[in-house]
């Protein structure tokens, strides 16, 4: 049937509209697809490229080299030594037990290290290396390398390990490092990723711990290509980390070594401070220990020997140990009395051997008494009754304030572990801590450094330095950081009357140089080197009335742990002070016999910068001192050779 033209025209118009509509839909779809492709391939190209690379490229941290530690003269104290280790990759080894057995026929493997390695392999992915032997010799590394084809999965590796070449000389000051533990991480609020590197080491105690952030440095990084299993295929690039800061301590290694040797087998501590700058020249606690034992993990046997020793070699007695300062505190009481205007040059106190205080008899160390005693004589002969009498007039609050001014009862800011504040008690302290009123007997005890009074050898050396200079000398341990000099500890004026200080210094000079002085036998006779000092003996037991009536038991007849502590503080030269020294010998008996000779020898070693001439000693001591010098020099040489062999 033939359609009329009108119908044909209408049909054509309908078809054209549909074609245009369908064409528009197709064009819109193609346009949207093109726009999406442009967005993915152009606008988001960087993001998708990064996602693709993350599937095959990993970033891994590179441990930084730890900062090294030197003495004031540049001698290395803590260094980074190349350390060779033997690793195993479990998936490459195949039969792990067989490979380890083959390796054990070539080199010595520690059973404890093997047990630790097996435990680590059980919890680690099979493609990660695990250390079988650490700090092996180059000879062992060579054996492994030569036999590599027969040892699948075994690879030698070189790294850095901490080494302390001076061994026990600086153990209590520098401390040691060890692997990061879960406990260490729990103490850090936001641990750096580098701390999670297996076997990464941080400072555990001492200077290594207190300056950990500076010594640690910043980690580097490397980009490595890994396969789908996460195994490293190749290294793409590397950015080395920033090494830790090198630290130079104010300590003198030679003086430190001598002092350690001079303390010998005593349970003792000695501190030498430069009164001009506050630099600590020697800080020695005896007996000591070898910190290298702790770097890899000390054995149970070695640790048991250290912890069971009654002389406590792990304790740093110089800053951690606090002791009743005994008669070394008498300068504090005297200065408080002078400052309060209660003592004059010619004023005397009668000493019959005791003083009655609040119904209780306080005894002088000399049973028969000293008779009429003035300030100079009270220091020279260490009369206790003089200070009982003076202290009752002054009062404990002024004595405590003077102690603080001279550096006692204050925690000095030093980068060492467990630095104690000591105690210079007053009325408020006893009320706050014990809930009791301060008694007049407490004041009498405190006046001679007993009772509640406590001080560390470090604080006693600061006290001597401040008396010698009249300045607030502050101990400085760090001399420079990366070559940058640190602030001096010379300090400002204490504001004390110079005439009063001069009277105290004169009394201390008499202690060491007057024939009736308590430290006369330990004097220095070299011209221009004369020493001013003060002996001290602090009781660690109560002497009963019955014992006093029958006669006080001599220290040598008592068990070691019940004997008195021996103390001595000094400075020299008297006319132009350069160094101050404090020595405490635990349960050593009398300060004049046990502590003063050590302090005198250490002082001379510091003044001469080495072994002093025998002419500096009294004639009667020269033969003995000469033999002592030879013995100590041999001991020091043996220790140095031993340290070099270990290095």
Q: Tell me the per-residue pLDDT of 542-556, one tens digit each, with 9 for 90 and over.
A: 776 666 666 677 777
d(C-alpha 41, C-alpha 553), whole Å: 96
- 3-state DSSP assignment of residue 399: helix
Q: Are 172 and 285 in contact (CB under 8 A)?
A: yes
Q: Write out the DSSP string of 282-320.
A: EEEEES---THHHHS---HHHHHHHHH-TT-TTS-TTTT
Q: Which of 145, 163, 181 is the last residue of a domain?
A: 163
Residue (of 563, 558, 599) closest to 579 by Cα position: 599
Judge if 373 and 484 occupy the same domain: yes
Instruction: Determine the pLDDT at residue 545.
Output: 64
Instruction: Kindly give the residue spans of alpha helices, DSSP state H, lying in 475-524.
Output: 498-513
pLDDT at 400 (0 to 100)? 98
Within a domain: 74: no
Residue 475: pLDDT above 80? yes
Least confident range of 113-122, 245-254, 515-524: 113-122
Run of H or E residues at 36: helix 5-38
Tokens of 32: 């949207």
Lowest mean pLDDT among 185-194, 503-512, 526-535, 538-547: 538-547
The model's pLDDT over 327-342, given as tens digits with 9 standing for 90+, comes to: 999 999 999 999 999 9
Nearest partner of 287 among 313, 309, 321, 310, judged by Cα: 313
> Domain check: are 269 and 126 in the same one?
no
Peptide bond into 377 cis (omega under 30): no
Q: Burial code of 3-15, b = ≥16 C-beta within 10 A, e = fewer?
A: eeeeeeeeeeeee
pLDDT band with cut points at 50, 70 and 90 for residue 640: low
Q: 547: domain CATH number?
A: 3.40.710.10
Cα–Cα nearest to 584, from 567, 571, 562: 567
Question: Does residue 44 lie in a domain region?
Answer: no
- Which residue, 119, 145, 163, sits at the end of a domain? 163
39 found inside a domain: no
In the DSSP assignment, the letter for residue 166 is: T
**Percent of the chain at pLDDT exceeding 90:** 60
| Band of pLDDT at residue 508, cut at 50, 70 and 90 | very high
Whole-angstrom distance, CA of residue 331 vs CA of residue 380: 11
pLDDT of 323 higher than 90: yes
Beta bridge partners of 69: 78, 247
Q: Are residues 386 and 501 in the same domain?
A: yes
User: Is there a domain that residue 551 lies in?
Assistant: yes
Is residue 645 pLDDT above 90, yes or no?
A: no
Half-sphere exposure of 532 (CA within 13 A, CB side): 29
Higher pLDDT, 186 or 411: 411
Residues 273 and 129 placed together within one structural domain of the fold: no
Put simply, whether the predicted model's pTM sits higher than 0.75 gets the answer: yes
Kindly report the CATH number assigned to the domain that includes residue 95. Answer: 3.30.1390
- Per-residue pLDDT, averaged over 554-562, amounts to 79
Average pLDDT over residues 484-503: 96
Question: Dihedral through CA 121, CA 127, CA 129, CA 130, nearest 10?
Answer: 0
Specify whether 515 is located in the same domain as 637.
yes
Residue 326's pLDDT is: 96
Q: Is pLDDT above 90 for 369? A: yes
Return the pLDDT at 479.
Answer: 97
Query: Is 145 in the same domain as 289?
Result: no
Are 126 and 269 found together in one domain? Answer: no
- For the record, the structure tokens of 94 come out as 């195949």
Residue 538 covered by a domain: yes
Q: Considering just the CA atoms, what is the radius of gyration of the chain in Å? A: 37
Q: Which of 147, 163, 179 is the last residue of a domain?
A: 163
Per-residue pLDDT averaged across 263-284, rounded?
A: 96
Domain count, the chain: 2
pLDDT band at residue 147 using 50, 70 and 90 as cut-offs: confident
The pLDDT score that the predictor gives to residue 356 is 92
Q: What is the pLDDT of residue 542?
A: 72
pLDDT grade for 214, boundaries at 50, 70 and 90: very high
pLDDT average, residue stretch 578-593: 95
Grade residue 2 by pLDDT with cuts at 50, 70 and 90. low
Pairs from 5-8 (Cβ < 8 Å, separation ≥ 24) = none
The larger pLDDT score, comparing residue 90 to residue 271, is at 271
pLDDT computed for residue 5 by the predictor:
62
583: which 2 tokens?
Answer: 């020595």
For residue 465, pLDDT over 90 is answered with yes
Residues 490, 613 within the same domain? yes
Residue 159, φ and ψ in degrees, nearest 5: -145, -160
Among 76-85, 156-165, 380-389, the range scoring the smallest mean pLDDT is 156-165
Length of the chain: 647
Render pLDDT for 525-537 as a digit per residue (tens, 0 to 9).
999 999 999 999 9
Q: Is 517 a member of any domain?
A: yes
Residue 379: which domain range? 253-305+313-646
pLDDT at 384: 96
pLDDT category at 51 given cuts 50, 70, 90 is very low
The confidence band for 118, taking pLDDT boundaries of 50, 70 and 90, is confident
- 3-class secondary-structure state, position 87: strand
Q: What is the mean pLDDT of the chain?
A: 88
pLDDT at 511 over 50: yes
What confidence score (pLDDT) does residue 184 get?
Answer: 82
Question: 263 and 159 in one domain?
Answer: no
Distance CA 418, CA 317 (A): 10
Minimum mean pLDDT range among 41-50, 62-71, 96-105, 354-363: 41-50
């Amino acid at each position: 049937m033939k359609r009329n033209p009108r119908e044909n025209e209408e049909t054509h118009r309908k078809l054209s509209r549909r074609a245009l509509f369908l064409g528009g839909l197709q064009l819109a779809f193609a346009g949207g697809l093109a726009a999406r492709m442009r967005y993915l391939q152009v606008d988001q190209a960087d993001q998708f490229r990064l996602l693709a690379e993350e599937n095959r490229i990993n970033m891994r941290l590179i441990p930084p080299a730890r900062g090294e530690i030197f003495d004031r003269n540049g001698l290395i104290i803590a260094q980074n030594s190349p350390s060779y280790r033997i690793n195993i990759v479990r998936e490459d080894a195949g039969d792990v037990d067989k490979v380890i057995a083959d390796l054990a026929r070539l080199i010595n493997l520690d059973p404890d290290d093997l047990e630790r390695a097996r435990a680590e392999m059980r919890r680690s992915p099979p493609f990660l290396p695990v250390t079988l032997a650490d700090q092996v010799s180059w000879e062992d590394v060579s054996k492994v390398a030569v036999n590599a084809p027969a040892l699948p999965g075994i690879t030698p590796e070189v790294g850095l390990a901490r080494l302390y070449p001076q061994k026990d000389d600086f153990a209590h000051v520098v401390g040691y490092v060890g692997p990061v533990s879960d406990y260490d991480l729990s103490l850090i609020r936001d641990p750096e990723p580098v701390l999670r590197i297996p076997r990464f080491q941080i400072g555990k105690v001492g200077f290594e711990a207190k300056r950990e952030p500076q010594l640690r440095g910043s980690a580097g990084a490397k980009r490595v290509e890994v396969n789908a299993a996460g195994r490293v295929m190749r290294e793409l690039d590397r950015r080395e980390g920033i090494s830790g800061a090198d630290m130079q301590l104010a300590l003198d290694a030679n003086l430190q070594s001598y002092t350690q040797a001079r303390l010998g087998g005593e349970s003792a501590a000695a501190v030498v401070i430069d009164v001009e700058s506050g630099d600590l020249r020697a800080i020695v606690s005896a007996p000591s220990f070898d910190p290298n034992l702790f770097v890899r993990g000390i054995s149970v046997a070695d640790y048991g020997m250290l912890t069971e020793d009654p002389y406590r070699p792990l304790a740093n007695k110089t800053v951690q140990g606090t002791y009743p300062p005994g008669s070394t505190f008498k300068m504090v009481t005297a200065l408080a009395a002078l400052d309060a205007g209660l003592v004059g040059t010619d004023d005397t106190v009668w000493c019959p051997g005791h003083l009655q205080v609040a119904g209780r008899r306080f005894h002088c160390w000399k049973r028969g008494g000293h008779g009429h005693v003035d300030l100079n004589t009270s220091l020279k002969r260490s009369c206790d009754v003089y200070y009982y009498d003076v202290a009752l007039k002054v009062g404990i609050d002024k004595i405590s304030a003077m102690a603080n001014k001279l550096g006692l009862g204050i925690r000095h800011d030093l980068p060492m572990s467990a630095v104690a504040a000591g105690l210079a008690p007053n009325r408020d302290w006893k009320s706050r801590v014990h809930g009791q009123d301060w008694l007049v007997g407490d004041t009498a005890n405190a006046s001679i450094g007993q009772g509640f009074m406590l001080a560390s050898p470090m604080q006693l050396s600061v006290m001597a330095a401040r008396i010698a200079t009249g300045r607030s000398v502050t101990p400085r341990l760090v001399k420079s950081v990366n070559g940058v000099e640190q602030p001096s500890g010379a300090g400002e004026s204490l504001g004390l009357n110079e005439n009063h200080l001069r009277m105290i210094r004169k009394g201390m000079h008499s202690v060491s140089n007057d024939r009736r002085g308590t430290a006369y036998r330990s004097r220095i006779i070299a011209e221009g080197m004369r020493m001013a000092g003060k002996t001290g003996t602090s009781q660690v037991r109560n002497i009963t009335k019955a014992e006093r009536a029958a006669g006080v038991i001599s220290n040598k007849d008592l068990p070691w742990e019940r004997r008195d502590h021996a103390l001595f503080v000094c400075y020299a030269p008297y006319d132009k002070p350069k160094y101050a020294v404090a020595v405490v010998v635990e349960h050593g008996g009398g300060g004049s016999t046990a502590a003063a000779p050590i302090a005198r020898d250490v002082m001379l070693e510091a003044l001469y910068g080495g072994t002093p001439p025998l002419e500096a000693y009294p004639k009667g001591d020269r033969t003995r001192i000469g033999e002592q010098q030879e013995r100590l020099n041999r001991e020091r040489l043996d220790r140095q050779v031993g340290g070099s062999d270990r290095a």
